[in-house]
Amino acid sequence: MSDAAELVRRTQEFLAAHPPASTAAEAFLEARFDAGLAWVHYPEGLGGLGAPRALQAVVDAELEAAGAPPAVGPSLNGIGLGMAAPTILAFGTEEQKRRFLRPLWLGQEIWCQLFSEPGAGSDLAALGTRAVRDGEDWIVTGQKVWTSGAHNARFAILIARTDPDLPKHRGITYFVCDMTDPGVEVRPLRQITGEAEFNEVFLTEVRIPDAHRLGEVGEGWKVAQTTLMNERVAIGGARLPREGGMIGPIAATWRERPELRTRDLHQRLVELWVEAEVARLTGERLRQQLVAGHPGPEGSGMKLTFARLAQQISGLEVELQGEEGLLYDDWTMRRPETVDFLGREAGYRYLRAKGNSIEGGTSEVLLNIVAERVLGLPSEPRTDKDIAWKDLSR
């Protein structure tokens, strides 16, 4: 389906059969998925209609105008929606797609990402978590770190080393891990904000069925690239209105508090406002590219820009507010379900933004990706590229 008018007609027919005012929210969303109006670019039977991605906005506008209940958003299941779902769609079996995608979109099952390790963050391919075949299962042992939302998650996307005799980018396999299985232990990591949205996860002889493997054995790095590219788009390329995101609160403060204004701060704010608007419009172009296929390395550039602007804007906001900008009313240890940048104080935004240049790929690694894959510059020497993982110094 590629016709917007036909999609509007189908949405209106759906609304007539499921009036939002008299249909329970959960039942409405379940019916929406089954009608193919969840993510229209997905195949029929998997929440979509095989339509262009751009037409999702047409459906969303019709549903919003009718007062339909909102779908579970990225703030609650960002890893599931932005990373796990497109990877399952690209590499999962039909059985896996039908098992995981519906409850994922409905928010009935929350997902997390078991990629980074204490010794394999920026150099993710050096990971050491082992998966050993045992009949129809894999026995997984290792440690993962910086796992957002693991304390709320039912499932995780996991990469583990299945053949240590191969070079580090090979011999990795991609799995779906049930976070409720025996041997999975989640521990909180307290952050500079006082919260613990991140975790470290210990895997001790966790038994994962081979039916929960995504892609071929030993091709986990290839599968993981789909996840990572989608992750950077999800973090840095969210759809925003003008003055959406971090620039919104400081622009509002500037208008409402004229006593805080200075000529120097005005010039810096205008420059950041322009950069934020350029980034927003660039994100729109990037999403248009996604209509034609999978995300590419351009998403790394968007994520780089997002991290830099978030840190610069939040720093300027604290400076603008002076002593008030240092106030932060809740340092208690909390386990939040979401990261609430805009509903908190300037001090919180300033502290939390420090993580933006680390999570989802460090800025240093993303600079290399942009240099090599976008600008076509020569690659950095990689002396360990063809050495077996077991022979690498660690």
Active site residues: 231
DSSP, residue by residue, 355-392 = GGGTTTS-HHHHHHHIIIIIS-PPPPP-TTTTSBGGGS
Round to whole Å and give the CA distance between 283 and 302: 7
Return the DSSP state at 259.
Answer: G
Instruction: List, in sequence order, every residue forming a beta bridge with 186; answer none if it has no partner.
Output: 201
The residue count for the chain? 394
365, 122 Cβ separation under 8 angstroms:
yes
Three-state secondary structure call for residue 199: strand
Round to whole Å and give the CA distance between 307 and 341: 13
Per DSSP, which regions of the chain are E strands?
111-114, 130-134, 137-145, 155-161, 172-178, 184-189, 198-209, 213-214
Round to whole Å and give the CA distance between 249 and 217: 48
